[in-house]
Structure 1
Amino acid sequence: MDVLRLTIALLMMGFSALSAYVDTWSIQVSPEVRTIEGYPAVLPCSFTHPTHTLHSSMNVVWRLGHTRTSTVLFRCSSLNGSQQCETGPDQDQRYRLEGNHREHDLTLRISSTALQDNGRYYCGVELPDQPHGSYENKMGTRLRVEAPPRILSLSIAGSVDTGLKALCHVQGSPLPDVQWTGLDEVLDSESEAAPLPQEAPDRHRTTSQLLDIQPGGQYTCTASNPLGNDQATVYILHPSPEMSKNHSSRDDALTVLLLLGIALAVKFLLFMGGLGGLFIKWHVGSKSLSQSSK
């Protein structure tokens, strides 16, 4: 009798578990997908649903981000049991449904990925004919787009008088390491990555600066990460004699003009002083004549 009761209890527990399973929506995704810049990325997503759920019409939605500021990247609609999931006229053609939504496969394909595609993606299903019929994966899939280093620019800032520095702007994922060399020796430098939000595209860029560089030097910037390296070299020429002569001539000309201006100012003051003296003499003479006539 006890064995029979135990068997019945186990069967009831099994039916309860099965009922709980079939009455629950479930969406499965891959935690992370990696690709290389320029290549496609495939984000797997599949779902199960309660057996009694009718979903003749459904929408498939893929979002980037999981907050109020998330962006809808892909959306298609399948109405009246159609095997086709139609997108809107404004849909970015880089995104397309790779799987068959009628077979519970919502896999998304992104073609020609770029560093800007890095982020966490969420797939979901919407049932227009059911109240509150919206289901979305809560964990999301982390897409990592990797790229070899690329030197965006190499420039010189400052002047000989105030000090020269070299600036090397690089890009890559993972973020490249930057090293400076000059005449077969490694030079100390400073690298700075802007404090940007985690999903911002510019977080894959950094700027390295080399201070106190000198005319006549040759400086090489090398950026590297596990996918490769990139290199650029800058040469700093000495000021030419003509430039130095012209610079000296300009200084001499400014000095002459300044001295000439001072001389003219002094002459003007002396001239005004002379006029003042004549005016005083005239005034005194006029006063004397006036008194004599009286």
Structure 2
Amino acid sequence: MLEAYEGWNARKRMMLFLVSSSFFLILILILSFWLSNDNLRLSAARNLPPSLNHWFGTDWLGRDMFTRTIKGLRLSLAVGAFTSVISVLIATVLGICAATFGKAVDAVISWIIDLFIGMPHLVFMVLICFIAGGGIYGIVLGISLTHWTALARVVRSEVLQAKNAEYIQISKSYGKSAWYIARKHIMPSIFPQIMIGFLLMFPHVILHEAALTFLGFGLSPQTPAIGIILSEAMGHISTGKWWLVVFPGLLLVVVIKSFDSIGEQIRILLEPASSNE
């Protein structure tokens, strides 16, 4: 009885943490649309420390850092969502193909996965982004082509396990087509893994987008992106303008941690057996 009560309380805490993290991210998106672009215009209020009028202070051009940070996070979230979807699609297609098209295809795809995993992650992203010409296109291509490998292995394993399930063998004995089995049986069984993989991939994508932009391989300097904000602030932090780095960097970490926690909590909630052990 006591164990059941503790398990229920732990589940309630996970749900509360999940809702609070989701609310925080939704609040960031609402604020990014609500805040006026007029706060990004040049003004005489330059290098002001944090105050009630400017929560995150202002930069060397008089732009409100709170507005720049929130709108930069919106861009990071948009790029992260689009890039994560592409990575999930690549992982799902290759994982299913590896598990269903025989040993030869499985060996080739497994070799490609090992090749991508074996290469230095950030160097590979920078190389792809540089070849693609930088910008949003280069970031999306560079990150999406390097973040699918772990999920592809999970999908492959899940499909191999599902193929040997009794209900699929019964479906085959009734003459159901491979497309029917994939659509009605295999896809529903791997969908939770795909969703969890997407949510856990999201924070890594956002962090790497900021890293590529910080290194100068990403978005243009005119774009209000977190990587650009941090990169520009590095030239002013030595003069005592600490707020140019601390607040954007701290908020980026909180957003990444929120997404990571959402994915982890959903994974635990979808696997009650493992969470009770």
Same-fold status (TM-score > 0.5): no
Greater per-residue helix proportion: 2
Q: Which of the two has greater strand per residue?
A: 1
Task: Please state which band the TM-score falls in when normalised by the shorter chain.
Answer: under 0.3
Larger radius of gyration: 1
Q: Which has the higher contact order (CA 8 A, sep 6+)?
A: 2
TM-score by length of 1: 0.21
- TM-score (norm: length of structure 2): 0.22
